[in-house]
Chain A
Amino acid sequence: MQYCGDFRTTYEKDVKIFQTPFVKICMGFLGVALVALPFLVKGEYLWISMQIVIAVIGAVGLNILTGFTGQISLGQGAFLGVGAYTSAYITAKMGLPFWVGVPAAGCVTALAGMIFGIPSLRLKGLYLAIATLASQFILEWIFLRWEPVTGGSYGIVVPRPSIGGFVFDTDRSYYYVVLVIAAAMVLFATNLMRTRTGRAFMAVRDHYISAEIMGINLFKYRILSFAVSSFYAGVAGALYGHSLRYVSSEQFNIGVSIVYLAMIIIGGLGSIIGSIFGAVFMILLPQLLTVVTTQLGSSFPGIAEVAIALEQGIFGAIIIMFLIFEPDGLAHRWKMIKAYWKLYPFSY
């Protein structure tokens, strides 16, 4: 029996992941649906689903940094790149397996994140955003110019993972690899936010001076947040590289950083479920726009030539409208819908 309103009497009840048995059942269904998905859809749709799952990892990572700790980062795209290149170097050039490459990618990216996070000790808000923008351009330049490691403008061809004799070379089998890693990482992030570390992140975001007075080491937690966030980005980038079987510098440009930032803002800052909504929305949106513009192209022949530009414009316009009309993101809307049905039909 679920009563109207909150009747939690202990702290443990308040931080429970599954607040009600109903939520547990829903999550169970969602899990089954995600596992069954490759048998229901195929081809391009399966590919898109896989990209969504990979994007969820990156978006959760960025949300830990920007949403929970309040450090704006415009460099997520480049950090994905660091992960992708690390894993590509380890698997393709050193010949080590995927299962070494991906965690190593996470660790190397975490290290890179910590280095580029050092300015956050002195800077905040806008200044930090610009510093991370600089890190984006510097890393992009390194991707293109450090030829012995990154292959320069040719990029690197990377293999799909294998275990024993089994190679995950179909999209269906690789989808499961990605799904398991993503599920584990989302769960870890959810749990992280329920610990002292997570609460410290939020305290730093809400008021860093108060946080410091309460005994939170700002240096430690800001750098830690950069490290965790970059670890997620690194893993997401590595998985992305292996999904394409090819890594090159233009896959990780400033546009990618913008898309990831848009994911967490449209999804909802400081919300794990929001990052998931945002990732789904921002990966599906360009696909939808492509479909729409090709449809329009058949009826208005002039559109075909400007289709790419038009898509970009509509994409921008949707971001603007979201920010104006739904500034708290999809997670907030989701909460409102839940609250409405919880109290239905007596919503007062």
Chain B
Amino acid sequence: MTTQYLLQLVISGLVVGSIYSAVALGFVIIYKATRVVNFAQGELLMVGAYVCYAFLVQMHLPFGVALLLTILFSMVLAMTIERLILRPMIGEPIISIIMVTIGLSLVLRSAVSVVWGTDILVYEPKLFPQAMLMVLGVPVSLEFVWCFVLSVFLLAVFSVFFKYSKAGVAMRATAFNQQVAQSMGISVKKIFALSWVISAVVSGIGGVLIGNINGINNTLYHFGLKVFPATILGGLDSILGAALGGVIIGVLENLFDGVCSTYFDLAGVKEVAPYVILVVILMIKPYGLFGTKEIERV
């Protein structure tokens, strides 16, 4: 085990972590505004990746157009989901809402498999140049760097959006108190739809990035499951928390995996490490790094 190896683990963790952050960001946006726990977040990423593949490779459109059409598709999909499935569930207990999004995830997964099959598909032509860059003496593929930069850019854009834009402020107000928001003239329905749209678009872009690097297949939704450790670590309703949580989980799972497979001869730690971290965090700091503490009074 050299520092070189450790550094490599950290850097590849950062890249995967930045994708986790994008998905976690989508999750938090929905949770913050609508209190819906979206178990279908990974599927939104997968659908985005496949739709972009369809436009880019199957229809031979230039990348810019394909990306725009993908974003458009994600928006329409999100609005449909919100209107048809989540709107009737308002006021239902949390377990029903969890179940309905699980049902949604099954439907989306099945739709992708039915339309595109289960083989690995590769984006052609590649969006990013295939070159290597030396970071601190470690060779890093340029696509990884782009992927990381784009994720950070997305996070920055949304932080600014929530802080300064009118719609962003309205969304925060709705998250804080729906009735008050409504009496101030904010349409809560529109905010709900908007948060789903933003969330789907962010996840969809994450999917396109992943598709460019690894190619896509029908197990891409696994990214959605990593969203829970990331958001719990960061705090369920914090944008910054989601961003940091995703990156930290990405780095930690890579490090644990590398260390365990070299020293303890334990394979597959990658799949379980994030959840062990999750349990530990829940035990010592249930509301995460930046989450709002729930205070209950009788």
Contacts and interface: CB of A to CB of B under 8 A. Distances in A.
Interface of A: 66, 72, 74, 119, 122-123, 125-127, 129-131, 133-135, 137-138, 141, 144-145, 209-210, 213, 258, 261-262, 265, 269, 305-306, 309-320, 323-324, 327
Nearest to B88: A324
A305 B116 CA distance: 12
Nearest to B92: A327
B123 interface: no
Interface in B144-160: none
B1 interface: no
* Cβ-closest 3 pairs across A and B: A313-B110, A316-B106, A309-B113
Interface stretch (B3-11, B60-68, B275-283): B275-283
A137 B279 CA distance: 11
Nearest to A213: B298
A320 B275 contact: no
A265 B271 contact: no
Contact of A141 (B88, B271, B283): B271
Nearest to B113: A309
A3 B13 CA distance: 70
Interface of B: 37, 85, 88-89, 92-96, 98-100, 102-107, 109-111, 113-114, 117-118, 225, 228-229, 232, 236, 266-268, 271-272, 275-276, 278-279, 282-283, 286, 296, 298
A133 B103 contact: no
Contacts of A74: 98
Given A72-B98, A316-B110, A137 B37 contact: no
Contacts of A313: 106-107, 109-111, 114
18 contacts: A119-B282, A127-B282, A133-B275, A134-B282, A137-B225, A137-B272, A137-B275, A138-B276, A261-B102, A269-B93, A306-B114, A310-B114, A312-B106, A314-B110, A316-B103, A317-B103, A319-B99, A319-B102
Contacts of A310: 110, 114
Interface centre among A130, A306, A311, A317 (most CB of B within 10 A): A130
A306 B225 CA distance: 24
B91 to A, nearest CB: 10
B103 A320 contact: yes
Q: Is the interface of A mostly helix, strand, loop or mixed?
A: helix
Contact of B98 (A129, A131, A138, A309): A129
A195 to B, nearest CB: 25
A72 B95 contact: yes
Contact of B95 (A258, A265, A319, A324): A265
Nearest to A318: B103
Contacts of B103: 262, 316-320, 323
A176 B118 CA distance: 41
Contacts of B92: 323, 327
B100 A122 contact: no
A123 B95 contact: no
A57 B69 CA distance: 49
Nearest to B111: A313
B113 A138 contact: no
